[in-house]
A and B are shown apart, each in its own frame.
Chain A
């Protein structure tokens, strides 16, 4: 086996060039002043101070987190029952359902969001609701498929055993099915929450332009203002939050795995 481990080298090189180096550059930009040559680097915390000195930026951050959390919760509420009933279907129908759910993903996300823009144009709801519709629509399949897979992997004899031991349908679900499907829910949360918190074109297209999120903020400071240092600082704050939330979900994952065993 050991000799095969060399096969991992290409990925290590890939990750170093395309993930580690850019991350280091972002860290460097975030802690330096603008217009520095490599030789005259001046380190500073100003970019971070600027972020927290004005309530507008933390507000935008909070709004992004709120949007991502609510999107994730809606995805679980819609996705869990959908996945549950899908997993109960006959195998042919099941395959068909999976196909139907993945089908829209064959079309580019941006194109689908433009389509929603057209559909929702004359619907008299606020931009915020339109953004939620677009977000849930785009991320729901990830949630359904994760939960569905975990439900499908479950050993049916466990349910039979629960029934034999006198548990009714609800108790079986609550004490056997639900705990065993939590890992699926958690990987669903990871797949929905992380892209949702940093998404910027869905809010931009559906929110009518006055729905600014962290993603829009970063885009604005990199592309339009050209203030890469402040943009990097925002990206770094964002990356920290993502890391923390990943850590938390990982921890939940372990705990549920222990319960499952």
Chain B
């Protein structure tokens, strides 16, 4: 027993020594940035395997990395007085944070890797000059379907309407969020997903009721990923990056972005106004935009990178997502839209969505 203990202790000691040996550069973060801890608040399952570790070693700092599962949870936490240095919210939430003066501008002179950013997602309406936000991932919302059980021509012909085709009753996953569901209904009907016209919204509400009645869908969120990998149902509303992952795991699945338009979104890094460590936050943004870190992120998570070199590499012949239709969203869809922040409409839709699910 004693022997084992000694061996364990020795090896632990040896490990800790090598640990020290490989540790970090000799940067003094306090002198350079005024702090040595960075608080990052990001989506769950949204970062490459080595990105955080590499950043910590290179800058000799500690990163407190915490996770949220919706923009609204993040917003609630931020308002609750939690202090973060980096957030990665979505477009409409960035619009809201800017409106409420909760962000500080990014000093783009410090972001030497800004050349890497993909032009197609810069200067979007939620932050026209990218004053506050540096894109992280972007994507669309589309339909994942099983090629063997669903006629591809149905999907292409009907677009989002295929979801309420009673031919596919009990085989559909809808996304359980008022935002995405009403986006789908409004786009299927040919309206803007940011509409404030109550007639259009009522029409969309009836569209969703009809869907609920016709196909008895399961309303899910992230569970859809594993379920579609296992092929449990045949049609699902999925975010493009998750779809890219599903397609790479299950070759029966295909992805379609309806011609009537869909939601294009961008999740971007921002620095909260109350950040205690903006200098280091800028370094972090710059670090994430390097080709290495962006590649690691995109390869691990499956969402389209904000880094144009990585996008090119991933989709080039032999690249990791070569031939995967879900990886790269389109930027030329005439009917595609970003979400706009609209608190009043959100309430209306939220109440209606509860009614849809309660029928």
Binding site for B on A (CB under 8 A): 54, 56, 59-60, 121, 208-210, 212, 217, 220-227
> Which of B217, B232, B350, B355 is close to A220, meaning CB atoms less than 8 Å apart?
B350
The reply to whether A223 and B72 contact each other, CB–CB distance below 8 Å, is yes
> Which of B70, B73, B357 is close to A209, meaning CB atoms less than 8 Å apart?
B357
> Which of B75, B217, B351 is close to A226, meaning CB atoms less than 8 Å apart?
B75
Chain A residues whose C-beta falls within 8 Å of the C-beta of B176 in the assembled complex: 209
18 contacts between A and B (CB under 8 A): A56-B351, A56-B355, A59-B358, A60-B354, A60-B358, A209-B218, A209-B357, A210-B212, A210-B219, A212-B358, A221-B350, A223-B72, A223-B73, A225-B346, A225-B347, A225-B350, A226-B76, A227-B347
Instruction: Given A121-B232, A223-B76, A224-B72, verify A212-B347 contact (CB < 8 Å).
Output: no
Given contacts A209-B357, A210-B219, A220-B350, 19 further A-B contacts (CB under 8 A): A54-B351, A56-B355, A208-B220, A210-B212, A212-B357, A217-B354, A223-B72, A224-B70, A224-B72, A224-B350, A225-B72, A225-B346, A225-B347, A225-B350, A226-B72, A226-B75, A226-B76, A226-B346, A227-B347
> Which of B72, B346, B358 is close to A56, meaning CB atoms less than 8 Å apart?
B358
The reply to whether B218 and A223 contact each other, CB–CB distance below 8 Å, is no
Is there a chain A Cβ closer than 8 Å to B165's Cβ? no
The reply to whether B70 and A223 contact each other, CB–CB distance below 8 Å, is yes
A46 CB to closest chain B CB (Å) equals 13
A-B residue pairs, 4 tightest by C-beta: A209-B219, A208-B218, A225-B350, A210-B357
Chain B residues whose C-beta falls within 8 Å of the C-beta of A54 in the assembled complex: 351
Chain B residues whose C-beta falls within 8 Å of the C-beta of A59 in the assembled complex: 358
Is there a chain A Cβ closer than 8 Å to B177's Cβ? yes
The reply to whether A56 and B219 contact each other, CB–CB distance below 8 Å, is no
Q: Mark B155-176, 1 if CB is under 8 A from A, else 0.
A: 0000000000000000000101
Chain A residues whose C-beta falls within 8 Å of the C-beta of B347 in the assembled complex: 225, 227
CB closest chain-B residue, reference A211: B357
Chain B residues whose C-beta falls within 8 Å of the C-beta of A210 in the assembled complex: 212, 217-219, 357-358
Chain B residues whose C-beta falls within 8 Å of the C-beta of A224 in the assembled complex: 70, 72, 177-178, 350
B159 CB to closest chain A CB (Å) equals 23
